[in-house]
Amino acid sequence: MSRLWLVRHGPTHMKTFVGWTDVPADLSDTAAIARLEKALPTDVPVVSSTLDRAIKTADAIQGARPRLAHDPRLRETHFGDWENLSWAQIQARDAALARRVFETPGHHAPPGGESWHDFSARVHNGIDAITGDAIVVAHMGVILAVLQRALECSAYEALGHKIDNLSVTSITRATPQSPTWSAQTINQVL
């Protein structure tokens, strides 16, 4: 069996859509980070996306664990022209497209950004490349894409899950080669 512990990076305090923008994580809650680090297995490697907020969170919880190379496939979704805009600003630009992107996620994409299907395919390629157990420090969208597959639910249903900063979601698969994952815990805040 393979198990992944999906950790959402520390908070950024941004009030806009932040995908590929490289903003730092606030890692000042050292007690929460210590609880998280202690709750994770000590004998599995840590991997993160290539964005600073995930890298620094992975650094903070790594301890003596081995580190795998940062993986760009584990980046947050690319919001394109909607990057760093608030929901109100996105609606003012194109309310109809915004509704399609978030209410019927699939092939619709923000201008210059990724569709849910393209994003999910990228994430699944990154997740499936991990052999054995690992701690994956990534982003809310990444965790939701993984959950959609593990729960065998629609993208819309997956987007309804809350994923807090510094939370753990764990998934398993029967063998390292199996494409079938199942969710064990979702959004566990320690």
Identity (one letter) of the amino acid at 168? V
Nearest C-alpha neighbor of 166 from the set 39, 71, 57: 57
Q: Helix (H, G, I), strand (E, B), or coil: what is residue 42? A: coil
Q: Check if 9 is active-site.
A: yes
* Torsion (CA) 130, 119, 8, 98 in degrees, nearest 10: -170
Catalytic residue among 9, 37, 78, 139: 9
Q: Which amino acid is at 118?
A: D
Exactly one of 37, 76, 78, 114 is catalytic; name it. Answer: 76
- Residues assigned a catalytic role: 9, 76
